[in-house]
Copies of this chain bind each other. A is one copy, B any other.
């Protein structure tokens, strides 16, 4: 057995035992001092010696060892996939992380692109997170939830359009966004309404319920709805605009402001008058929506704040029974500008 002292810079990673040795105390004392354990009182000179030794060695506690010993971690795992979800979502995401860290959780995003739902759940479970907060970018099955809970997760929370068995669900009723847009278009007199469906993968979770919402609102008023698959590029937008008149649409809900901008530009280039010939409504109320002319009408979405969600996570971790299983958290309203 070759005991090679071949650590990267020749030295080995310092442990609490090294600190104890250098300070001339026991490992227990080191632990007490560095964790400020309230139940034990250590003399000031000893404290100082321990601190100095730790400093000198560049000692950093080993999180895995600590949580192994403790039997639990404070890791909150956020599964992510690359879904170009826009500033709204990413702002929320950031707030959430910040708020969780303030509550003393270690927040870790786990990129799960290309894993199937059960593989993914297993990979997360290996890390033994105390909570998993799925923002709906990655699918979560009831089996996955069960596995996570079995491996110690106190809270499994989903934020998204769908309800998942066994989780605490923060429902974002995307259909509501579609209903708002649909109702608005109907009210503006539209009778045949197109709904842009992005072809980029990963957006179905949002686009499908939004379409359903438009449908509900439109059909209640006797208007027709036509889904319009579209890739986020100039060419397909131009092609769609090219056959616009044969589609006979007098209104369109364009998934979000970015797709709306793309389509609107293509329609204008094709000589379609907006809103005269076709009314256009986007969603998410992005800054860019105000840059084209006519200014884009949009659905403004009020999202739950990251801090609130962080508090929910904390509450569920402390007492899994304490929170409602399901909570609505999205509110939306149409901001009418000039394109509708």
Which chain A residues have a beta carbon within 8 Å of chain B's beta carbons? Answer: 8-9, 11, 13-14, 58, 60-65, 67-68, 73, 80, 82, 84, 87, 90-91, 93-94, 97-98, 101, 106-111, 113-114, 122-123, 125-128, 146-147, 149-152, 154, 232-234, 258, 261-262, 265, 287-288, 290-292, 320
Contacts and interface: CB of A to CB of B under 8 A. Distances in A.
A78 to B, nearest CB: 8
Given A58-B146, A111-B94, A113-B94, A127 B63 contact: yes
Contacts of A106: 123
A154 B8 CA distance: 7
Contact of A80 (B109, B113, B149, B262): B109
Contacts of A97: 82, 111, 113
Nearest to A71: B13
Contact of A125 (B60, B111, B125): B60
A336 to B, nearest CB: 17
Given A128-B64, A232-B287, A291-B262, A87 B90 contact: no
Copies of this chain held together in the complex? 2
**Residue of A62, A82, A233, A291 ringed by the most chain B CB atoms within 10 A:** A291
A106 B122 CA distance: 13
Contacts of A11: 150
Given A61-B126, A108-B110, A110-B108, A9 B149 contact: yes
Contacts of A84: 87, 90
A121 B126 CA distance: 24
Given A8-B149, A94-B111, A113-B97, A65 B62 contact: no
Contact of A65 (B68, B94, B125, B288): B68
A111 B107 contact: yes
Given A63-B128, A149-B9, A291 B265 contact: yes
A62 B128 contact: yes
Contacts of A320: 8-9
Contacts of A107: 110-111
A206 to B, nearest CB: 17
